[in-house]
Amino acid sequence: MRSLLKVSLGALAVAVRVSAQEIFEPVDFNVTEALIDNGVNITAIPELAGLVARSSLKGCSIACNSLKLIFGSTKVSSAAPTTYWSKQQLDVDPSCTFMPTAALEVSTVVLLSRLTKCPFAVKSGGHAAFPGASSIEGGITIDMVNMNERKLSADKKSVAIGPGNRWIDVYDYLTPYNLAVVGGRASTVGVGGLTLGGGISHHTNKYGLACDNVASYELVTASGIVLTVSATKFPDLYWALRGGGNNFGVVTTFHYETLPQGLMFSSKRQYDAAYAPTLFDAFGNAVIGAVQDPKLAHFVAIAHVRGLKLVSTEYEYFTPVDAANPPAILQEYLAVPWIQDSTRNCTLAETTPGLSEGMPAGFRTTMWSQSFKLNTDLMKRIASHFFTIAPSIPGVSSLSFQAFSTPALHAMQKKGGNALGLYPDNGPFFHILFYVPWTDASEDESILTVVKDFLGAVVRMAGELGALNDYMYMPYSSPYQPVLSRYGADNLAKLNAVSKKYDPAGVFQTLQPGYFKLDGVAPYGTTI
Ligand SMILES: Cc1cc2nc3c(=O)[nH]c(=O)nc-3n(C[C@H](O)[C@H](O)[C@H](O)COP(=O)(O)OP(=O)(O)OC[C@H]3O[C@@H](n4cnc5c(N)ncnc54)[C@H](O)[C@@H]3O)c2cc1C
Ligand SMILES: *[C@@H]1O[C@H](CO)[C@@H](O)[C@H](O)[C@H]1NC(C)=O
Ligand SMILES: *[C@@H]1O[C@H](CO)[C@@H](O)[C@H](O)[C@H]1NC(C)=O
Ligand SMILES: *[C@@H]1O[C@H](CO)[C@@H](O)[C@H](O)[C@H]1NC(C)=O
């Protein structure tokens, strides 16, 4: 079917469209002509040629058939991807799955979606926790799995990473160079969703989030243009991509800044639940101490596992540590008596399987997020309330406590800042991730209700202590949470203005309906 594509000509035409305009989509934009520019021979696909005149045909079957005719059946499957983390996403049945290998192919699928009005979803690592986030019933799932480039720049200051990569692929590639990037902490998570929503890393206290350390993005816009976006090229879009999720285009390459990373210290411990308050005090001091020493990453998690109360922690330090003689910032934590310990010096790559194993794929899942001003009394009250309500969830439930320290908040202001609405002046913050895995669909409603009520209660507690913060972390948020409104009214207005400029037809709002949209409302509404 090669004759349907004039690839080199098409690539040239796209390049011309990019350089010739500051207006990203003229009012008389003609999708058919843009497809022809991409090298698609419209007249050779009778159904598509017909669509130019008629619009009542079944859009998605035409779109999927056209993709097959243009790209062949190795790149188009009628089955859904089998590599989602959450069971609810696995259960979604698209019309077809398209697996592009180049930005131009991504451009063509976006234009085909527009022409046929067939909606789509974009999937990187597939670790979003709710259906529709990176899957779409009856539409086109664009699975980026084969866009898995990994390439260091000649000066080794940046690395090009395709969204088909998981974090383990990235770290395995960089380890021999003694380099790393600010990226995810779990081996199997994808680079795409994590980076576009923020990206909490072991390196965040010093460098900020993953999104704060992207030198440039290669992005396919709503009109099928391939743009390189950086602090100097399209800076408004660069700002919006730092936390704006899937609302601005399909990222086909992330160019991350690299940082030096040899062996590091990694410690995972379990404690008697009675030590939770002691650990929260240590947490608070480590958050404050990050100003002096940003090399420590840490979190405290509490869990209820079939009647058992568990408390665990994870500590990472940029360099190897002698646990008997640790740097000051680790001393309070390491002095707490533990019941189980795994402490070692190892590579960043070696730290990552642990978090994936602790949150295995294949379960029904829900994740919820909320942030607060750092307040250890509030942390203790939240933990105590968790252990009160957790028994009403039959299997496993967990709550982890993480921080946005003052140096992390400063790092988030680099290069024009990100879109999250988190600033050093009102920090530091802690935030919670409530995560529940379960198997029986008949429990969906009761579990979601327990979690939602819990979040309501802790928000009220925080209000009483004057410690509530609006922000919710997108990659940990549930579809019942209004994530983008919580970036602040100014930031949401700015995000909408950027969208109007680069996507005036609102393609990424309507034809890609999943995940957190720029209307700022919860994707599933706020009732359960
Ligand atoms: C086990 C586990 C560990 C985790 N650890 C961390 C952690 O350490 N730090 C952290 O910050 N978060 C963590 N998370 C949360 C994680 O960041 C989110 O689940 C995130 O959505 C995963 O990204 P993904 O690419 O795998 O997901 P996907 O489901 O593929 O994508 C999520 C969203 O991003 C969009 N998207 C993905 N790629 C692109 C692209 N190239 N262009 C445009 N849109 C795109 C999708 O359309 C979708 O809406 C963890 C989650 C799990 C399940
Ligand atoms: C778009 O372009 C095609 C092909 O050149 C043409 O047939 C069609 O009429 C155009 N559509 C509009 C709305 O101008
Ligand atoms: C486009 O397809 C038509 C119909 O199959 C064919 O006649 C024509 O030669 C093709 N054009 C190009 C440039 O390949
Ligand atoms: C980790 O490295 C430090 C510093 O080199 C060393 O003192 C310590 O013994 C090592 N720890 C382990 C568990 O090997």
**pLDDT computed for residue 46 by the predictor:** 84
Residue of higher predicted confidence among 424 and 13 = 424
Whether residue 264 contacts residue 349, with contact meaning beta carbons closer than 8 Å, is answered with no
Distance (Å) from CA 41 to ligand 3 centroid: 6
Distance (Å) from CA 118 to ligand 2 centroid: 19
Mutate which of 110, 134, 185, 363 for ligand 1? The one with the most ligand atoms within 8 Å of its CB, which is 134
| Same domain, residue pair 100 and 226 | no
Distance (Å) from CA 199 to ligand 1 centroid: 9
Average pLDDT, the chain: 94
Q: Is the pTM of this model over 0.85?
A: yes
Distance (Å) from CA 37 to ligand 3 centroid: 14
Q: Minimum-distance ligand to the CA of 322?
A: 4
Q: How confident is the model at residue 16 (pLDDT cuts 50, 70, 90)?
A: very low
- Atom of ligand 2 lying closest to residue 30 CA: 1
- Greatest extent of the chain over all pairs of C-alpha atoms, in Å: 76
Q: Is residue 178 part of a domain?
A: yes
Specify the CATH number for the domain of residue 158: 3.30.465.10
- For residue 176, report the phi and psi dihedrals to the nearest 5 degrees: -60, -20
| Same domain, residue pair 466 and 508 | no
State yes or no: pLDDT of 503 exceeds 50.
yes
- Please give the average per-residue pLDDT across 91-97, as a whole number: 97
Q: Alpha-carbon distance 63 to 97, whole Å? A: 11
State yes or no: pLDDT of 115 exceeds 60.
yes
Amino acid at 10: G
Distance (Å) from CA 2 to ligand 2 centroid: 24
State yes or no: pLDDT of 1 exceeds 50.
no
Mutate which of 41, 52, 54, 115 for ligand 2? The one with the most ligand atoms within 8 Å of its CB, which is 52
Q: Alpha-carbon distance 321 to 266, whole Å? A: 9
Q: Is residue 513 part of a domain?
A: yes
Whether residue 51 contacts residue 62, with contact meaning beta carbons closer than 8 Å, is answered with yes
- Please give the average per-residue pLDDT across 267-276, as a whole number: 97
| Same domain, residue pair 498 and 458 | no
| Same domain, residue pair 442 and 499 | no
Could you report the per-residue pLDDT of 336-357, keeping only the tens digit for each?
Answer: 999 999 999 999 999 999 999 9
**pLDDT computed for residue 11 by the predictor:** 47
Could you report the per-residue pLDDT of 458-493, keeping only the tens digit for each?
Answer: 999 999 999 999 999 999 999 999 999 999 999 999
Q: Is residue 282 part of a domain?
A: yes
Token pair of 197, please?
Answer: 């929503």
Could you report the per-residue pLDDT of 389-414, keeping only the tens digit for each?
Answer: 999 999 999 999 999 999 999 999 99
Q: Minimum-distance ligand to the CA of 41?
A: 3
Indicate whether residue 320 lines ligand 4 (CB < 6 A): yes
Q: Alpha-carbon distance 432 to 435, whole Å? A: 10
Which residue, 50, 76, 86, is CA-closest to 142? 76
State yes or no: pLDDT of 257 exceeds 90.
yes
Residue 93, classed as helix, strand or coil, is: coil
Distance (Å) from CA 288 to ligand 4 centroid: 26
Q: Is residue 41 part of a domain?
A: yes
Protein residue with least CA distance to atom 7, ligand 3: 44
Distance (Å) from CA 32 to ligand 2 centroid: 6
Amino acid at 33: E
Give percent above pLDDT 90 in the chain. Answer: 91
Residues lining ligand 3, Cβ inside 6 A:
3, 41, 43-44
Protein residue with least CA distance to atom 9, ligand 4: 322
| Same domain, residue pair 216 and 283 | no
| Same domain, residue pair 280 and 338 | yes
- Atom of ligand 2 lying closest to residue 28 CA: 14
Protein residue with least CA distance to atom 11, ligand 2: 30
Specify the CATH number for the domain of residue 86: 3.30.43
Whether residue 139 contacts residue 94, with contact meaning beta carbons closer than 8 Å, is answered with yes
State yes or no: pLDDT of 5 exceeds 70.
no
Specify the CATH number for the domain of residue 420: 3.40.462.20
Distance (Å) from CA 167 to ligand 1 centroid: 11
Q: Minimum-distance ligand to the CA of 143?
A: 1
Whole-Å CA distances, 431 to 184, 194, 198, 427: 17, 17, 14, 11
Q: Is residue 88 part of a domain?
A: yes
- Atom of ligand 3 lying closest to residue 4 CA: 14
Q: Is residue 351 part of a domain?
A: no
Question: How big is the CA angle at 408 (ends 403 and 411), to the nearest 5 degrees?
Answer: 160
| Same domain, residue pair 169 and 113 | no
Give percent above pLDDT 70 in the chain. Answer: 95
Per-residue three-class SS string for 328-388: HHHHHHHCCCCCEEEEEEECHHHHHHHHHHHCCCCCEEEEEEEEEECCHHHHHHHHHHHHH
The total number of structural domains in the chain stands at 3
Domain that holds residue 217: 150-261+487-523
Q: How confident is the model at residue 18 (pLDDT cuts 50, 70, 90)?
A: low
Q: How confident is the model at residue 50 (pLDDT cuts 50, 70, 90)?
A: confident
Could you report the per-residue pLDDT of 179-211, keeping only the tens digit for each?
Answer: 999 999 999 999 999 999 999 999 999 999 999
Q: How confident is the model at residue 8 (pLDDT cuts 50, 70, 90)?
A: very low
Q: Can you give the C-alpha Rg of the chain in angstroms?
A: 23
Q: Is residue 370 part of a domain?
A: yes
Q: How confident is the model at residue 4 (pLDDT cuts 50, 70, 90)?
A: low
**pLDDT computed for residue 53 by the predictor:** 56
Q: Is residue 528 part of a domain?
A: no
Which residue, 121, 48, 119, 124, is CA-closest to 85? 124
Q: How confident is the model at residue 9 (pLDDT cuts 50, 70, 90)?
A: very low
Question: How big is the CA angle at 157 (ends 156 and 158), to the nearest 5 degrees?
Answer: 95
| Same domain, residue pair 300 and 433 | yes
Residue of higher predicted confidence among 473 and 8 = 473
Residue of higher predicted confidence among 51 and 472 = 472
| Same domain, residue pair 15 and 111 | yes
| Same domain, residue pair 476 and 492 | no
Distance (Å) from CA 43 to ligand 3 centroid: 7
Name residue, tokens 């529709």.
Answer: 132
| Same domain, residue pair 320 and 447 | yes
Q: Minimum-distance ligand to the CA of 28?
A: 2
Q: Alpha-carbon distance 358 to 341, whole Å? A: 15
Which residue, 333, 343, 369, 360, is CA-closest to 481? 369
Q: Alpha-carbon distance 258 to 254, whole Å? A: 12
- For residue 50, report the phi and psi dihedrals to the nearest 5 degrees: -60, -35
| Same domain, residue pair 432 and 510 | no
